[in-house]
Chains A and B, each alone.
Chain A
Amino acid sequence: MANLQFDLVSPERRLASVETTEVMIPGADGDMTVMAGHAPTITTLRPGIMRVTHDGTTEEYVVLGGFAEISATGVSVLAEQALHRDEMTQEVYEKLIADAKELYKKHEEEVENEPGPVDEAAKLIADMVAMGTHIGLDSEHSNFG
C-alpha cells in the first residue's frame, strides 16, 4: 500500500515526521481518515485525538486546534498545541478543562447580545470533555452550563 508522509508540528517543536498508511484527523466538520491519494484539502481542527497508523502500530496525539494540509502524498498538521497521548495526564487535562471553562465564563460575563464567542467557548469545553472521555480521562467539570 502506498504510504503517506505525516508531519505534526507545533510552533514550539516538531512532534512527528513519519511514513504512515493512514491518519485520522479531528476536522472541524468531523473526523476524517486520510490515506494515500486523498484529494488536496485544507481543514481546520477541533480539539481531539489524532490517530496515526504506521507499520501496523497506532500512535495517538492530542491536538488542540490548528489546521491540516492534506495532499495526495502527505499530511502536515500544524497544531497550535499538540501532545503525545502519553503526555496527556489527568493533571494536564484538568488544566485544559479549567482554562476552557474560564474562557467560557469570561465570555459569558463580557459579551452581551452576541452569542458567538459564548457558543464557541461552550463548544470548546464540549470538545475537550468528549476528547477526555475518549481517551479515558475523567472530567469533573462536564456540567459547565
Chain B
Amino acid sequence: MPNLKDLKNRIASVKSTRKITKAMQMVAAAKLRRAQEAAEASRPYTERFNAVMGQLAASVGGSETAPKLLSGTGSDQVQLLIVMTAERGLCGGFNGNIAKLAKTHAQKLIADGKTVKIITVGKKGRDAIKRELGDYFVDHVDMSSVKRLGYLNAQDIAKGVLARFDENEFDVATIFYARFENVVTQHPTAQQIIPSSFDVAEDADTTLYDYEPSEEEILADLLPRGVATAIFSALLENAASEQGARMSAMDNATRNAGDMIDQLTIEFNRSRQAVITNELIEIISGAEAL
C-alpha cells in the first residue's frame, strides 16, 4: 500500500503543476488575442496586395519578359523548403504537425530525385527534423529574441530567400506553417511562394489601369514585396496557431491534473481509513487477548 506521506506529497506536486499549466493557459489566451488582432490588422493589406498583384500578373504574366519570380526559372529541380515553427514547446502537436508535413514533403521530393534545401525558422521545428533531414539544412532564422512580430522580421527572411534566388540557388520555394482556424484546430499548410501564384478572382473587376512607371517595373518592384507579405502573413498565422495550440494543450493539462488530484485524494482517504481500521483492530484484538 502506498505510504500516506508519499501520497500527500504527490497531491501537492500535482497541484502545483496544475497551477503552472493554468497560468500558462491564461498567458497563452492573452497572447492569442494579441496575435489574432495582429493577423486581423494585416488582412486588409494582404487582400489588397494580392488583388493588385493578381491583376498585374494576369496582364504581364503571359509575356516572355515576365520576371522570374513570377514565371519561375523553368525548372523545379532545386526545391527550397522554409519550415516555420515556434521557438518554444508545450503547445501540443503544433510544432510536430508542421515538422511532419515538411518531412513527408521533403522525403517525397527526395524520392523524386529533386535537390532539397531547407531553411528553418524557429528552433523547435529544426530540432524535430534535424535527425532525418539535417544534411539538407542551409540556414536557420532565430526568432527567440523577437518579442513582437513585425513586418521587418518577415522582410529579413524574405531578403535572405530572395538573395538565394538571385544566386540561382533554388527554383521553387515553399513555406510550411500552421493556418489558424480556431483555438482547437490549426492546419499545417504548405504554400508555394516562388514562383509566386496569385489567384485572380473570377468576378474581379477588370478595370484597365494606367501604370506609373511601367507595368514591368511595378511588377519587378512588387514581387519581392509579395514574398515578404506572404511570409509575414504566414508568421502571423503561425503565431496565432502556436498560442491557440498552447492554450488548448494547457487546458487539457489543467483538466488532467484536476482528475489526477481527485483520484489521488480518494486513494489518500482510503489509505488513511485503512490505517485507522488497522489500528482499531490491533487495539481491539489486544484488549480481547487480555
Contacts and interface: CB of A to CB of B under 8 A. Distances in A.
Contacts of A80: 151, 225
Question: Which size bracket describes the interface of A in this complex?
Answer: 20 to 34
A41 interface: yes
Given A44-B221, A78-B49, A12 B210 contact: no
Interface in A36-91: 39-44, 66-67, 69, 71, 76, 78, 80-81
Interface SS of B by simple majority: helix
A42 B209 contact: yes
Interface in B32-49: 38, 41-42, 44-46, 48-49
Interface stretch (A3-11, A122-130, A134-142): A3-11
B45 A9 contact: yes
B29 interface: no
Nearest to B149: A12
B286 interface: no
Interface in A77-125: 78, 80-81
Nearest to B210: A41
Contact of A12 (B42, B49, B208, B218): B42
A27 B52 CA distance: 17
B151 A81 contact: yes
Contacts of B218: 42-44, 67
Contacts of A27: 212
Given A11-B151, A42-B209, A42-B210, A67 B52 contact: yes
Interface of B: 38, 41-42, 44-46, 48-49, 52, 56, 150-151, 154, 207-213, 217-218, 221-222, 225, 229, 232
11 contacts: A9-B44, A9-B48, A12-B41, A12-B151, A28-B213, A40-B208, A41-B209, A44-B217, A67-B218, A69-B209, A81-B151
Interface of A: 7, 9-14, 27-29, 39-44, 66-67, 69, 71, 76, 78, 80-81
